[in-house]
Structure 1
């Protein structure tokens, strides 16, 4: 893996936890935020590409993931905890940079929106992948809304009960779970019914796409084998608590410059009326400095790994305007 050469790894203390970061390069800082079930490793291509263009690329393992500590308390994974980690991390590693560039994907995109909502003073510009801004519905809690729309087998609903999905993932095996998620290409909501998890026999062979190697899968699997999935799943288990904690930000706009990129086969883009929200004015209403929406044809959810060079170029083309 020549791409991994020159990426440095270290641990930074933030808010009482040890956070693992991967970094490369010098210059304006770009903070890369990963999703589920991922790690800093999801950004391996972009770290190298952007470092070569004169940036300092930094990708942490978020709390509960990889080599970063996973607090025991299930409620230690609200948006305030995780965004708090990001601010503390920036204070520790870039005290000379008032504002940084942020790039997020999946859960990382959700957290990036909240980072910009809570602390726009710290963000120069944002490039977000896959997950558009989701305005808070003051009438109904998040998981309640998901159940009303998609029912109990919708993946976010299935993740709620502590221990249940952990046991089902253990039955499948960690490497198998990683392959199932990373190769998932059904352009619609993800359902994980008990005993029929991904809609095919559990021993059906999974052919890896060209952008994902066995080595990649093994890296992810080795880290999740060590930590388990509880820390990662706790993000979903705190969605309703986050809903309560963000009441003060109802109807508040995200006021940083934004570029949004999504694949047309992405499960999120094809769920919850996301297309209408993105393309018919809702998105721009809540993110008034949204400058560009890019829809990539034939691309699914793990867009930064499936189309790494294109994504790196999209990131650079946008942030270079804000030096």
Structure 2
């Protein structure tokens, strides 16, 4: 049975510099946005958009790129129905949350700092955390920096990556994949934004969200990323309404804030030197897909299945590999992901 008796929803504190502003719910063609409330909260020097639904123990849902809070809409409904309070922010630089211009404002210390301030504004000392893609990286680091704030976590797609003290992140990526690897191509400020503008926001989002090739993603310097005249058919789990919502937010905010996460990789390498060799000592579950490019990165499967991940995450409970599923698993298999999350966090 769900342990909900201990988790009556806390009021928003009147102090601490946080302000809440009501926002209208976001409609979707499948009703998944029904009953989700929205507000803006001032945290860590920025205004953050937060979506919420439900009463009970808080589950913090952290999205990746090029996602938004919206990627969790199905899980929010499922979690709320099972007695949880689902909280899904737009992370710094995404959607309706503020997007500082400088890449240095997107270090992992900034991002985790935003979340600590958010938890304070929610009146929560300790929460469950679920992350996907960049959200997983943030969740791993949140649990490493502040394990006192995390009851347990479920991470999707992106495995924990121990810091290599001898080689910076971008040096490694260029050595292994070359300069046309998408993360390397994201590095020069403004350059890839011009390419995305040429292709059109909706086309770029379709290209990313429908990517199912387990191999590396390349955007070549000479040919770019193709032609916007080419059709990109949508899978059954991704509708034009979904694309229109994502497009409306990215056309308003642009891509620079999101790309600054990638542009801060070497800065993060420098800032996290004190945590070299650190282990993550909170209960965890990891879910990955067999068609996910992250699962096919060099050495990833050996690290996951041959003791490396368990060594760095000693309280790792389970690794789940889902078959015939691509990177955006929380949208492609929403019910299965909701069940996996609930099965794990109800143990605590």
- TM-score tier by shorter-chain length is over 0.9
C-alpha distance in 2 between matches for 1:196 and 1:23: 42
Provide, for residues 242-262 of structure 1, a one-character-per-residue CA deviation record: whole Å limited to 9, x for no partner: 000000000000110000001
Report SS of the residue matched to 2:105. Answer: coil
Q: Which of 140, 143, 146 matches 1:119?
A: 146
SS at 1:125 equivalent: strand
Report the CA distance between 1:74 and its aligned residue.
Answer: 2.0
| Residue 162 of structure 2 corresponds to residue 129 of structure 1 | no
Which of these residues, 10, 13, 21, is aligned with residue 39 of structure 2?
Answer: 10
Q: Is the 8 A contact 1:7 1:22 kept in 2?
A: yes
Regions of 4+ moved over 2 Å: 194-198
User: Are the aligned partners of 1:191 and 1:197 in contact in 2 as well (CA < 8 Å)?
Assistant: no
Structure 2 counterparts to residues 1-323 of structure 1, below 5 A? 1=28, 2-93=31-122, 95=123, 97-198=124-225, 201-322=227-348
Kindly state the Cα deviation for residue 197 of structure 1 after the two structures are TM-superposed.
4.1
**Is the partner of 2:233 in helix, strand or coil?**
coil
For structure 2, the residue ranges without an aligned partner over 5 or more in a row are 1-27
Q: 2:224 & 2:88 partners in 1: Cα distance?
A: 30
Shift of 1:272: 2.7
2: distance between equivalents of 1:241 and 1:272?
23
Q: Deviation digits for residues 69-100 of structure 1, max 9, x if unmatched? A: 0112221000000000000000011x2x3210
Q: CA RMSD in A?
A: 0.9
Q: How many matched pairs?
A: 319
Using the TM superposition, give the Cα deviation of residue 266 of structure 1 relative to its aligned residue in structure 2, in angstroms. 0.3
Q: Deviations over 1:265-304 (max 9, x none)?
A: 0011111321111011111111111110000000010000
List per-residue Cα deviations over 1:19-64 (Å, max 9, x = no partner). Answer: 0000000110000000001100010100111011100000000011
Question: 2: distance between equivalents of 1:193 and 1:46?
Answer: 36
In the alignment, the residues of structure 2 paired with residue 194 and residue 220 of structure 1 have an alpha-carbon distance, to the nearest angstrom, of 26
User: By how many angstroms is 1:145 displaced?
Assistant: 0.7
- For 1:64, what is the secondary structure of its paired residue? coil
1-structure distance, mates of 2:189, 2:66: 17
Task: Give secondary structure in 2 for the equivalent of 1:220.
Answer: helix
Q: TM-score with structure 1 length normalisation?
A: 0.97
Counterparts of 2:227 and 2:259, CA distance in 1: 24
Contact 2:200–2:228 (8 Å) recurs in 1: no
Determine the C-alpha separation between the residues in 1 that align with 2:212 and 2:223: 17
**TM-score relative to the length of structure 2:** 0.90
